[in-house]
Structure 1
């Protein structure tokens, strides 16, 4: 039986009409049977939908932003299709469904579930436009709803995969289709046992590609980005970056764990377990080799720099003159888990626990409310978390010039500092 191949195109690769045309050109000589194309929402659509949700939650007008988002997608369609094309009615219908969802009541208690029912429209709309354009260009693909095969639990915004059910669905429904046509689908979304839409975590389209790849025993997974491959730092933030020609699964997983944005953190594990190579390639230079992530990569000693912004440093201090014990740490982590807040850095002292977390809408306030009776709590917002893997001690001071360092720690292979501009 023929191997399946997975291509994933992120938001930057479908951000406007020119980008969609470029995607079609990439596929023109690569489109074949047994290929799945996974697409993300267009450009910053997910950010826009999150802004709409924030306005609704705070009792502010959100209809104007919704209208702007609709106009954005309609104008892309106007550049890609003739005025009488069926895509306009399809997009109109999807925005109608989105508006119906936005009219329902939203509160802090149902925010995560409501979020998934709204934010999924970014991927649904994007995939419809791209699929219709490919077919309009005589590049025939089957549009398929990822929720028909990606089965999850009901942990909204961070849904966990039901691997057995997902594998069976992929093999029984999509595998026969792929023998005749390539499939185009959405990243980031799935459905729970009750048929409700779930999402897999922010930027989760990479993970979708890995799920489909492992479920269908793919020959490889390719992620198309606006960078030439995996770099040792974000070129928008740091000069003189280096591209890795290849990376081992473990090195790549470590980079994503600490926040490297080029690949979603959950992507590597299923591919590593299945021995499926992952390619990161440039949609701006599609014939360049990119980076290959696989089992037999040669180790390297190039330092990798990861910078996470919008970080909060929180210190929990015991109030009864005792020392920090396991029960205190357990209590803090219990609340973090309940609120789905991930710890990016942890440091213990005799009388306090300090953690660094991402800023998340209203979740931090809930954390403080839950624990304020048990600890004296202090925090700083608007910080950056700098992580350097395979650091060279003599190079670290240069990264801290012009910054106040609130917390730092170092191991043999990793340096981390919480910093803010002075």
Structure 2
């Protein structure tokens, strides 16, 4: 079956009106057999995290207050979306959920991941109920019945078999973010876990596409909240977006893209608030031109190393479980290289400890810019940006670029000074706007 996957985040489900808009999107763009992956509604996850903290601190007043807020929020959504015979059972079920939570708290047996899982479960259950209320056949699935994690790693063969439980004659509403380990305990897929759930499920089901519905219309040359003239792209290269995420852009998490490596499954980014607006397709690099991006960097450490082997890089990736960047610069004599590592500031101690005296911390808590561009332009873009920053008296601590195969490359510029939105806008406009007709195609 030619399925598609659609993922809706918390902001898309934050009110009853937004649920109704999501239902309208589903009935307009989905067919039976398609998969809808959902996050927890609105700020539900934040409230559950707060509840867990109050529970750990034995703050009974905080516990009761937060449970009341959660219950009121979920109940209001149900009352505004469902009516009569449909509403009452769902209200009863949500009340039972909170009774279980309170019982576990009283018994001091509450588990963090089980608690956090409620957010996605409530979203999937309510959305499927609402779709059925509108006479569109839908069924809610708890991803803990579909996604198995074995010793911290996804059990791919078992998961592919489990996904056969999905129904070809109904809409399948699946919880994002959560999974189950081999001992039957709830586990989570980490940061941006619902996006990751969507691309994983798409791979397991051989879906044709994954549409991630967000609060922005697609992917831009810069953050449109900071840069007024940011250019929206209609299509972008998957490898360039992977680079952008490794530079810390919140567009997608690296693992969300990695789940689709080696496949032709497209990712589509579009707005759940303006579903008829232009959107962005993330596609294979062989079919589209390379684009240009600029993104801000925050709290980075610059570390100097005399020698950096491939083994070092591999071990550091395993140690940090995080993206970092390596650059090498030739000594003036041209006979050897000096290596530089750029890592998030919270990983500085771990990295220095790994090198045990072989590394020198040059600076910490640096800010800056990442620039991504086609292979023929990334060098000149990085150098132009340095010149422009110096003209406005920004002190540069480090700048360099590197190529990434046939897909282009990226540059990084670091400074002690925060790159304000105004600075980012000026750089963006100076570097990119003259090429608008080319790079937005």
TM interval, shorter chain, is 0.7 to 0.9
Q: Per-residue deviation at 1:103? A: 6.1
Alignment partners' CA distance in 1, 2:234 and 2:3: 24
Find out whether 1:216 has 2:205 as its counterpart: yes
- With normalisation by structure 2, the TM-score equals 0.75
Q: 1:386 to 1:344 in 2, by over 3 A?
A: farther
- Kept after mapping to 1: 8 A contact 2:316/2:351: no
Q: Per-residue deviation at 1:314? A: 7.3
Deviations 1:370-416 (A, max 9, x none): 789979989845x6453211252324555685866555443353222
Q: Per-residue deviation at 1:4? A: 1.4
Q: Per-residue deviation at 1:268? A: 2.6
- Kept after mapping to 1: 8 A contact 2:307/2:339: no
Please give the root-mean-square deviation of Cα atoms over the aligned residues, in Å: 3.8
Structure 1 residue matching 2:36: 3-state secondary structure: strand
Alignment partners' CA distance in 1, 2:349 and 2:68: 32
Structure 2 residue matching 1:271: 3-state secondary structure: coil
Match of 2:301 in 1: 313
Match of 1:258 in 2: 247
Greater Cα offset, 251-260 or 347-356: 347-356
1:268-307 aligned at under 5 Å gives the runs 268-295=257-284, 296-300=286-290, 302-307=291-296
- Kept after mapping to 1: 8 A contact 2:308/2:339: no
- With normalisation by structure 1, the TM-score equals 0.78
Deviations 1:70-113 (A, max 9, x none): 3332232232233753222222233344445556779xxxxxx9
Deviations 1:317-340 (A, max 9, x none): 9xxxxx85669x95x9868845x5
Find out whether 1:386 has 2:369 as its counterpart: yes
Structure 2 residue matching 1:29: 3-state secondary structure: helix
Match of 1:4 in 2: 3
Find out whether 1:73 has 2:66 as its counterpart: no
Deviations 1:186-244 (A, max 9, x none): 11111111111121121121221111112111122211122122222221122211111
Count residues with an aligned counterpart.
Answer: 392
Alignment partners' CA distance in 1, 2:400 and 2:135: 56
Q: Per-residue deviation at 1:167? A: 0.7
- Kept after mapping to 2: 8 A contact 1:271/1:278: no
- Kept after mapping to 2: 8 A contact 1:102/1:118: no
- Structure 1: stretches of 5+ with no match in the other structure: 107-112, 318-322
Q: 1:336 to 1:167 in 2, by over 3 A?
A: closer
1:22-33 aligned at under 5 Å gives the runs 22-33=21-32
Alignment partners' CA distance in 2, 1:384 and 1:104: 47
- Structure 2: stretches of 5+ with no match in the other structure: 330-336, 404-408, 420-441
1:329-348 aligned at under 5 Å gives the runs 337=318, 341-346=321-326
Q: Per-residue deviation at 1:10? A: 1.4
Match of 2:131 in 1: 134
- Kept after mapping to 1: 8 A contact 2:48/2:116: yes
Q: 1:289 to 1:104 in 2, by over 3 A?
A: farther
Alignment partners' CA distance in 1, 2:314 and 2:59: 33
Match of 1:411 in 2: 402
Match of 2:218 in 1: 229
Q: 1:409 to 1:394 in 2, by over 3 A?
A: closer
